Structure formats: structure tokens, C-alpha cells
A and B are shown apart, each in its own frame.
Chain A
Amino acid sequence: MDTEQLENQFQLWNRFMYIVLGSAITFVVISFGNFLNPRGWTSFANYAAGPWMMLELLATPPGFYLLWHKPWQTLPLQRRINTISGYLIASWLGLVAFGLMIQTDSPTELGFLVACGAILFPLLYIWILKRKPSQREEMFP
């Protein structure tokens, strides 16, 4: 696949990322509301679990696909990083929503994982942005 085709496909992945991100934000908002007032979703019911799993499936694999899949590596990482981060942030927001849905009392291991993600994601993002591109990633060395 040539660079132009990849760019075109990348635009589609970028737009899809915003859709997934919107979905994740909605999940967090609804879950937070129900966390404050637990009369809504009393449990991880089917109508919450199904879409939530869908969200995680649509957010996490595309993020790693764009990060590690061979053809994408012809595009420089700096070009892909915002879209990849968008997918991974959507995935993390999904975990936050999950935590809020099942949380009833004090923070648990999931809360710890979510907090770790909140610290690690920005650090990883900054590290990738500041890192010099390797020879393979450079389009015009």
C-alpha cells in the first residue's frame, strides 16, 4: 500500500477515533451521574454491558493496530500519535466508566489501575513526542 492510500485510510481512522471518543465521554457522564445517584443503573445490566464491551473493542485494538501494524509504520509516529492517543484515551475513559458503574464503596484495584493510566498516558505521550524519530520512521532523511 502506498503512502497516499495510507493517508486516506488514516483520515478514516482519525474520524472514527472521534466517534469512539464521543461514545466514551458519554459513558463516563452517564456512569458518573449514576454513581452519584445509584437508582439508575443498579448493576452492570445488559444495556450497559453490551455497549461498554463494544466501546472497548472499538477503542483498544485500533489504537494498538495503528501503533504496531507494519504498514502503518511507513507513516511517521509523530503523524499517528494523536489518533493513537485518542483511541487509547477512549479505552481508558471506558475503564473509568466501568469503575464508576461497579463502584459502590471505597476505591478498589480498578480505581488504582485507572489512576495509573491517568499518569502513564500523558507521560508516554510526551515521551513519544520528544523522542527523535528513528531512521525507519523518517520519510525524508
Chain B
Amino acid sequence: MDNHTLQKRLEIWKRILFITMGASLTLFVQAVLHYQESQRLVFDMSWYGAWFVVQLAAFLPGFLLLWGKHWMQIPLFERLNTIFGYFAIAWFTLLPVGLRVGPYTPKTFNFFWLGSGIALAIGYWWLRRKSLGIQNEMFP
């Protein structure tokens, strides 16, 4: 696949990122309002189904753009914000399910959620530095 086609595809992935963001925000708002209203765990399978799809739609493209064979042709610096946009959405999407199951396992969830947030921030900082270093080597 040539660079031009990949750039076009990256633009499409950026648009899908915003769609996923909208879906994630909706799940979050519903979870907050539902928690305020009932404060109990309701097994509405469609909500969890939608949550699962959004979670997959956030995680998988992130890894695909990061490690996909074709995507290596595009410099990491150009992909990085999109990749971590997807990961950030995946992380944020954990929050609504945490609100639902949180009252049952508060400490475990909080630890996991905050830990993954810190890991995400460090990963972004580290990869950003790495990608900038590669760019500097290209234009010394």
C-alpha cells in the first residue's frame, strides 16, 4: 500500500475516532444519570453490548495504527495523536462501566482505572519523545 493511500486511510480513522468519542460520551452520560436515578446495577444487556462494541472500536484501531505492518510506513509522529486518541477513549469508556459496577468493587476498579490512566500518559510521553527523536535524525 502506498503512502498516499495510507494518508487517506488515516484521515478516515480520524473521523471514526470522533464517532467513537461521541458513542463513549453518550454511554458515560447515560451511566451517570442512571447511577443518580437508581444507584443499583441493572442488567440491560443492550447497554453492555453497546459498551463492549465501543470498547473494541477504541482499543483495536489504536493497536492497529500503532503496530500494523502497513502503518509503519507513516512516521509515528503523524499517527501518535490518533493512536492515543483511541486509547484515551478506551480508557474513558471504562469509566461508565465503573460507575455501574463501582459500588460493588470500588478499590479494585479505582486502582485499575487510575493505574491505566497513568500508564497511558507515560506511554504517550515516551512515544512522543521517541517519535520526535526519529524526526530529528531525518532532518539533522
Contact = CB atoms under 8 A, between A and B. Distances in A.
Nearest to B16: A18
A30 interface: yes
Given A26-B26, A26-B54, A48-B30, A40 B46 contact: yes
Contacts of B22: 18-26
Interface residues of B, number: 28
B33 A27 contact: no
B19 interface: yes
Nearest to A47: B33
B33 A46 contact: yes
B53 A29 contact: yes
Q: For A32, A45, A47, A50, which residue has the most chain B Cβ atoms within 10 angstroms?
A: A47
Nearest to B20: A22
B45 A37 contact: yes
Interface string A26-56: 1101111110110111000111101100110
Nearest to B27: A26
A15 interface: yes
Given A18-B18, A46-B37, A51-B33, A33 B49 contact: yes
Given A19-B19, A21-B19, A46-B37, A30 B47 contact: yes
Nearest to A45: B37
A34 B26 contact: no
B122 interface: no
A29 B54 CA distance: 11
B83 interface: no
A47 B21 CA distance: 19
Given A26-B27, A33-B46, A51-B33, 5 more contacts: A19-B22, A29-B53, A30-B30, A41-B44, A54-B29
